[in-house]
Structure 1
Amino acid sequence: IANMVQGVTKGYERRLKIEGIGYQARMEKKAIVLTVGYANAVKLDPPENITVELPDATTILVKGWDKQKVGQFAAEIRHVRPPEPYKGKGIRYEDEKVRRKEGKSFASGG
């Protein structure tokens, strides 16, 4: 019940960042179109009572009064291209830390 009260009074928001060369987002009417390295752009329609804003081409702001719907739609956007551990490319939450891995080491011989 406390989440519902906060949702109506303040609202909830989830911020996502897009990392990667040529990766970007744009709006087409109410839908969000993601260009994230696939042959075709990925188009996602937000559920009702959810608004999507793009402060810039690499930042996505999901807002709404229902905490579960905001989190679910943000997770669906992230699922399109989750951050990968080697170069850090992909869509991540703004407060998310991506654990980086080292690439293959060059071994002499072989």
Structure 2
Amino acid sequence: MSRVAKKPIALPKGVECQISADKVALKGPKGALSIARPTDVDVKVENGVIQLTAQGDSTAMAGTLRALLNNMVTGVSAGYERKLELVGVGYRAALAGKDLNLTLGFSHPVVFKAPEGITLAAPTQTEILISGADKQRVGETAAKIRAFRPPEPYKGKGVRYAGEKITLKEAKKA
């Protein structure tokens, strides 16, 4: 069996796990998440620990399910957060209710509606905080916002992840 799948997942205080025939549901202080359970992987909760065992030749699926469940446990207990930075003259972000208004150098403002389960915040005009319980949805939302104006390679202007290093190209010489 996969070495990843053999490692147990400890449930922190306040996190509940419910296992049914077709799904595994986790509930915690930051929200509730569920995932479809493959029929060839057994999931058991004993003494606040989730243990997985693969049946037959499904070791890869057991390892994948274990990694996804571990991310879900972290999400419902602590949550996930992604930070974006706006670099460029006149580039700014502002919240209008749950919508994010972005000024990115286009002739029109870009309005981004927050997906369900995602919280957007703009502590300053050049920072965007994306937080939520689902790791995949937080990352996907950050990628969608970054795609409006990815960093360009000559001046580095655009929307970038916090701490992202942009390798700048040298300009043409006459």
TM-score (norm 1): 0.95
Report the RMSD for the aligned CA atoms in angstroms.
Answer: 0.5
Structure 1 Cα separation of the partners of residues 74 and 115 of structure 2? 20
Distance 2:134 2:77 in 1: 11
For residues 18-63 of structure 1, the C-alpha deviation after alignment (integer angstroms, 9 at most, x for no partner) is 0000000011110001000000000000111100011100000000
* Aligned twin of 1:22: 90
CA distance in 2, matches of 1:95, 1:69: 20
What does 1:81-100 align with in structure 2 at a 5 Å threshold?
A: 81-100=149-168
Gaps of 5+ in 2: 1-68
Match in the other structure for 1:37: 105
1:55 and 2:146 correspond: no
In the TM superposition, residue 96 of structure 1 has moved relative to its aligned partner by 1.1
Pairwise mapping of residues 65-80 of structure 1 onto structure 2 (< 5 A)? 65-80=133-148
Q: Determine helix, strand or coil for the equivalent of 2:119.
A: strand
SS of alignment partner, residue 7 of structure 1: helix
2:155 and 2:70 mapped to 1: Cα distance?
A: 40
Query: 1:78 offset after TM fit, Å?
Result: 0.0
Q: Does 1:46 align with 2:114?
A: yes
Aligned twin of 2:22: none
| Structure 1: segments with no counterpart, 5+ residues | none
Q: With CA pairs under 8 Å and 6+ residues apart, which has the higher RCO, 1 or 2?
A: 1
Give structure 1 regions of 4+ aligned residues with deviation exceeding 6 angstroms: none
| Aligned positions, number | 106
